[in-house]
């Protein structure tokens, strides 16, 4: 990804007609780093610093209405850098639409602002991602282990976690 790329370089013309892309570009032209469509589902890569504002915008715009967060997960792209992608799966029931947001984070000290104030259901999802991948969600109301014991060492879904590893 080219940090100097303009929104026109990032989003091909085919995405110009997608309502969510249009509205996000009107709201914050620099928020989208990348856009992809696969099997009719749109994935937007959003700059980490702008995620919370974009999430609030997507939830509150009546013509978008992304009020349902169905999942938050993460991908470890080790050894690539940025190493992590945090993935948010959104649904709009009226009108029916599915949208996936991705945010790329560095391998050293991966942190992102929580979306719990936007979608309270993100609470358990973010705790799980923190527990298994080690990604910190700043401002989370109760960020502690949810699946593993408190004294567990490491984050078992990371690709560099030893298979005979820590216990």
Quick one: how far is CA 118 from the chain centroid? 13
pTM of the model: 0.88
Is the model's pLDDT at 59 over the cut of 90?
A: yes
CA distances from 95 to 15, 35, 60 (A): 18, 21, 13
* Average pLDDT of span 157-164: 87
Q: Who wins on pLDDT, 145 or 3?
A: 145
In a 13 Å sphere around the CA of 116, the CA atoms on its Cβ side amount to 15
The per-residue pLDDT for 40 is: 80
Does residue 3 sit in helix, strand or coil?
coil
Is the model's pLDDT at 164 over the cut of 60?
A: yes
1-57 per-position pLDDT tens digit:
455 555 455 444 545 568 888 999 999 999 999 999 888 889 999 999 999 999 999
Domain ranges of the chain: 7-123
Question: Looking at domain 7-123, what is its CATH homologous superfamily?
Answer: NADH:ubiquinone oxidoreductase Nqo5 subunit (3.30.460.80)
86-131 per-position pLDDT tens digit:
999 999 998 888 999 999 999 999 999 999 999 999 999 999 999 9
Give the model's confidence band at 165: pLDDT under 50 very low, under 70 low, under 90 confident, else very high: low
């Amino acid at each position: 990804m080219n940090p100097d790329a303009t929104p026109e370089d990032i989003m091909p013309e085919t995405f110009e007609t997608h309502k969510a892309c249009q509205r996000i570009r009107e709201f914050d032209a620099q928020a989208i780093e990348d856009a992809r469509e696969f099997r009719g589902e749109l994935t937007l890569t959003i700059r980490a610093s702008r995620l919370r504002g974009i999430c609030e915008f997507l939830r509150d715009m009546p013509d978008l209405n992304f009020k349902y967060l169905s999942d938050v997960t993460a991908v470890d792209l080790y050894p690539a850098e940025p190493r992590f992608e945090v993935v948010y799966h959104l649904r709009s029931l009226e009108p029916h639409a599915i949208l996936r947001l991705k945010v790329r984070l560095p391998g050293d000290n991966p942190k992102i602002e929580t979306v719990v104030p936007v979608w309270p259901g993100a609470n358990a999802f973010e705790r799980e991602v923190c527990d298994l991948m080690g990604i910190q969600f700043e401002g989370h109301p109760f960020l502690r282990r949810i699946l593993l014991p408190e004294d567990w060492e490491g984050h078992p879904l990371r690709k560099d976690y030893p298979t005979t590893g820590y216990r």
